[in-house]
Amino acid sequence: RGQNSSFAITKPSCVLCSSDKHKIIGCSQFKDMNTNQRYDAAKKYDLCINCLSNGHRVAQCASKHRCRSCNRTHHTLLHHNNATLLTLASPTSLPVSQSLQPSSSYSTQPHTYNQLAATHSHMETSDHGQVILATALVLVKDSMGTYKLGRALLDSCSQVNFMTDEFAQRLHLRREKYLIGIRSIGDSVTNLKARTTTTIKSRTSAFQLSLQFGITSQIAYQPDAEIDTINWNLPANTTLADETFFKPRRIDLLLGTEAFFEALAVGQIRLGPNLPTLQKTLFGWVVSGRYQSKHYTPSKSYLLFREDSIDANMQRLWELETVDRKPNPISPDHRICERHFIATTHQDTTGRIIVRLPFKDNPAALGASFDIARRRFLAIERRLSHSPDTYSQYVSFMEEYKRLGHMSVVKAPKLDEPHYYIPHHCVMKPTSASTKLRVVFDASCQTTTQTSLNDLLLVGPTIQTELYMLLLRFRLYRYAITADVTKMYRQVSLNKNDRKFHYILWRASADADLLTYQLNTVTYGTASAPYLAVRSLHYLAEKHMAEFPIGAAAIKTSFYVDDFLCGADDTEALHTLKEEVTEILQRGQFPLSKWHSNHPDFIERQTMKELSITDDFTSSALGVTWNQLNDMLLFSFTPKQVHKSVTKRTILSIASSLFDPLGMLSPLVITSKIIMQELWLLK
């Protein structure tokens, strides 16, 4: 006692088989393992995954060698083939060595995935308490080389790293098309369509790591509800990786197995009975584990990311013909939105309707948005410079926007008041007869406070007639007419006090100054736009109901957004209907165009400017092709060429490709549904 003893221990060269004749790189046992087993062995013996030596981590690796297959920071023996199929069972059901083996039900079948990666991330609560998952605030490199703060979930059971689409947009990261199948609870598979590569680093140490991330639409909030930590007695001398771990906040990143174990450090503090544990990492101390909550409602949450799966698509196929007889209940938010519209809406001297934005929260919660809007504009400008034709269409669209008075330059933006810059980009629709290119405004882009304009707006209730009922009523009349409101959203003006929340950046050429404009009308891309536009039509109908009862009733029941479908059983009633609807909407500056009818006399009495006639006398009626000449609904189907093996997803894609809201093709579609049902039973 009181004496110190020192021992020199010589370790064998190979940590796996204890041989002193070779290192693990030359070990036959190591080479006989599959990639996942080799990776597990490297982590078990605390080896650097880049050079397979011990004594340091990959972040401190001095070797200049990289994987010969993909040039990433790992050894070639640890490289996953793109064709490899990985599955991961629940950690509690199978040992790790078993759970990483290819599933027998898939190993003999060809794949359409470049890589099938799997994850099982979950939070489960029980009667004994709740579980909090480890989160950390990390610095993530954007496209300009600067680092932005992101909230990461540390998941030791995920074979893939994830990043939300919104966060990737904020960082303006370059994306790569890549199909990744994600297998999860219930053996369902969802697909990611893109990935990106960037560097993360710690706020508290020199640790940094270059990682690939699969892009997903959303990773869940963590925790579900705010946690009372007043009695937890967190040590004052520890630097937390996430100081707001107890507050429900969005997760921007999910760091999987590779990053998790690289960031893991020695050190653990147990806070006490029924309390979570503090685990030291290179990001700081993370809080994780089970804890007892005084206010607790049992709940379970699996899958911290959300993507459409084959199960969801299958459910939509079955529900397509379901008629819900129960009316949707009116929520408190819907009532507030309706009262707000009634109290703030009016018409100007020309009759144009002026509305206010229905905020549900204080717009002061908006942070800075100029920088992200500027970065995204410069990026789209650079991209379009390589496509002169698309660039020309973009400029033409925006110049028309300006010429019509739908946007105007702002010489002195109100930057000292709550405001919002909306980023914009273009989408192409080659099949459109009028507009091949449309500029889309992204009011869901987050500001520096992680809040977007859409986060603060009320969506409003759905007040238009259901698609099924509208088409069914359309087929009941002897004579039918259809029309379209020209630029419907943009016919509704926005109150001048709210236009500071519709700032955009624009210039027609890279040589010009980048100016601030304000959008003066209701803008598609904002959460409240559909409600405000449709409610404005109803506003006019209610105002002129006594003078034009037929037209007013038709406006309230026969519009689906900007598409008008109605009819009558005699020609006089048809013309009265058309005249009254036109008159009411003209008083609100809503012009109608693209008139169609199955009655030749009606067509002859319209001007050519009002009509939209095609060679085969067909038009689109809410997505369904209508032949006016013989008054028939048509369905077209292009057989799908299957070049690889037929899967359930292939059959489902074919079965759901026919748009048939009235169920007229049910005798045909039911066959595919029966096939899908039998395939599910054979699973």
For residue 101, being part of any structural domain is answered with no
460 vs 613, more confident: 460
Question: Binning pLDDT at 50, 70 and 90, where does residue 122 land?
Answer: very low
Half-sphere exposure of 123 (CA within 13 A, CB side): 25
C-alpha to C-alpha distance for 599 and 478, rounded to whole angstroms = 9
Percent of the chain with pLDDT over 70: 78
Q: Is the pLDDT of residue 167 over 60?
A: yes
355 and 218 in one domain?
Answer: no
C-alpha to C-alpha distance for 504 and 137, rounded to whole angstroms = 31
Domain that includes residue 56, residue range: 24-78
What's the domain count of the chain?
A: 4
Q: Is the pLDDT of residue 108 over 80?
A: no
Average pLDDT estimate for 581-602:
90
Average pLDDT estimate for 502-510:
96
458 and 595 in one domain?
Answer: yes
Beta-carbon contacts of residue 11 (< 8 Å; ≥ 6 apart)? none
Contact 353, 540 (CB under 8 A): yes
> What is the reported pTM?
0.55
179 and 73 in one domain?
Answer: no
Cβ contacts of 93-100, under 8 Å, gap ≥ 24: 96/40, 97/37, 97/40, 100/34, 100/36, 100/37, 100/40
φ, ψ at 117 (rounded to 5°): -100, 155
Rg over CA atoms, the chain: 30
Contact 255, 153 (CB under 8 A): yes
For residue 531, being part of any structural domain is answered with yes
Average pLDDT estimate for 225-246:
85
What's the pLDDT at 671? 82
What's the pLDDT at 537? 97
What's the pLDDT at 51? 85
For residue 593, being part of any structural domain is answered with yes
The tokens describing 212, both together, are 């690939």
Which CATH number goes with the domain that contains 202? 2.40.70.10
Average pLDDT estimate for 71-78:
78
Q: Is the pLDDT of residue 89 over 60?
A: no
Strand order in the sheet with 284-291: 130-132, 284-291, 277-281, 264-270
519 and 452 in one domain?
Answer: yes
Q: What is the mean pLDDT of the chain?
A: 80
What's the pLDDT at 494? 98
What's the pLDDT at 111? 35
Q: Is the pLDDT of residue 554 over 60?
A: yes
Coil vs helix vs strand at 583: helix
How far, in Å, are 130, 359, 446 from residue 423 at the CA level? 40, 20, 10
For residue 639, being part of any structural domain is answered with no
What's the pLDDT at 495? 97
Average pLDDT estimate for 520-545:
96
C-alpha to C-alpha distance for 209 and 204, rounded to whole angstroms = 14
540 and 465 in one domain?
Answer: yes
Q: Is the pLDDT of residue 341 over 80?
A: yes
For residue 28, being part of any structural domain is answered with yes
568 and 666 in one domain?
Answer: no
For residue 91, being part of any structural domain is answered with no
What's the pLDDT at 95? 32
The tokens describing 164, both together, are 């939300």
Beta-carbon contacts of residue 259 (< 8 Å; ≥ 6 apart)? 154, 161, 200, 209, 211
186 and 137 in one domain?
Answer: yes
Q: Please report which residue ranges of 190-297 form alpha helices under DSSP H.
A: 257-263
Give the per-residue SS3 of 103-136.
Answer: CHHHHCCCCCCCEEEECCCEEECECCEEEECCEE
Percent of the chain with pLDDT over 90: 39
127 vs 368, more confident: 368
Question: Binning pLDDT at 50, 70 and 90, where does residue 444 land?
Answer: very high
When mean pLDDT is compared over 5-14, 77-86, 450-459, the highest value belongs to 450-459
571 and 527 in one domain?
Answer: yes
265 and 173 in one domain?
Answer: yes
Q: Is the pLDDT of residue 58 over 80?
A: no
For residue 457, being part of any structural domain is answered with yes
Q: Is the pLDDT of residue 90 over 70?
A: no
For residue 318, being part of any structural domain is answered with no
What's the pLDDT at 121? 42
* Buried-state track 615-653, b at ≥16 Cβ within 10 A, e below 16: eeeebebbebebebeeeeeeeeeeeeeeeeeebbbebbe
What's the pLDDT at 224? 67
317 vs 138, more confident: 138
Q: Is the pLDDT of residue 297 over 70?
A: no
* Buried-state track 403-430, b at ≥16 Cβ within 10 A, e below 16: eeebbeebeebeeeebbbbbbbebeeee
What's the pLDDT at 185? 61
661 and 546 in one domain?
Answer: no
Q: Is the pLDDT of residue 71 over 80?
A: no
Classify burial at 509, counting beta carbons within 10 Å of its beta carbon; exposed 0-12, middle 13-18, buried 19 or more.
Answer: exposed
Contact 483, 592 (CB under 8 A): yes
Coil vs helix vs strand at 287: strand
Average pLDDT estimate for 592-610:
72
Average pLDDT estimate for 539-564:
95
160 and 57 in one domain?
Answer: no
Helix crossing, 571-586 with 549-557: angle to 10°?
80
Question: Binning pLDDT at 50, 70 and 90, where does residue 127 land?
Answer: very low
Contact 444, 401 (CB under 8 A): no
Average pLDDT estimate for 67-84:
67
When mean pLDDT is compared over 26-40, 69-83, 471-485, the highest value belongs to 471-485
What's the pLDDT at 124? 41
C-alpha to C-alpha distance for 148 and 165, rounded to whole angstroms = 15
Q: Is the pLDDT of residue 498 over 50?
A: yes
Strands (E), 374-443: 407-409, 424-428, 437-441
405 vs 660, more confident: 405
Dihedral in degrees, nearest 10, Cα atoms 64, 68, 72, 74: -80
Q: Please report which residue ranges of 440-485 form alpha helices under DSSP H.
A: 453-456, 467-474
Which of 212, 188, 186 has the alpha carbon at shortest distance from 199? 212
Beta bridge mates, 136: 152
Which of 340, 331, 361 has the alpha carbon at shortest distance from 455? 361
| Angle of CA points 92, 182, 525, to nearest 5° | 130
C-alpha to C-alpha distance for 646 and 569, rounded to whole angstroms = 49
Instruction: Tell me the per-residue pLDDT of 615-658, one tens digit each, with 9 for 90 and over.
Output: 555 677 777 888 887 888 888 777 766 666 777 777 777 777 77
Beta-carbon contacts of residue 507 (< 8 Å; ≥ 6 apart)? 513, 514, 515
Contact 253, 201 (CB under 8 A): no
Which CATH number goes with the domain that contains 620? 3.10.10.10
Q: Is the pLDDT of residue 41 over 60?
A: yes
Question: Binning pLDDT at 50, 70 and 90, where does residue 131 land?
Answer: confident
Least confident of 58-62, 301-305, 345-349, 606-610: 301-305
Contact 547, 512 (CB under 8 A): no
Contact 517, 409 (CB under 8 A): yes
What's the pLDDT at 515? 96
The tokens describing 151, both together, are 């909230």
Q: Is the pLDDT of residue 148 over 60?
A: yes
Q: Is the pLDDT of residue 1 over 60?
A: no
340 and 208 in one domain?
Answer: no
C-alpha to C-alpha distance for 48 and 61, rounded to whole angstroms = 7
Dihedral in degrees, nearest 10, Cα atoms 175, 178, 179, 185: -60
Specify the pairing of strand 563-568 against strand 559-560.
antiparallel
Question: Binning pLDDT at 50, 70 and 90, where does residue 547 land?
Answer: very high
What's the pLDDT at 391? 94
What's the pLDDT at 643? 62
Average pLDDT estimate for 249-272:
88
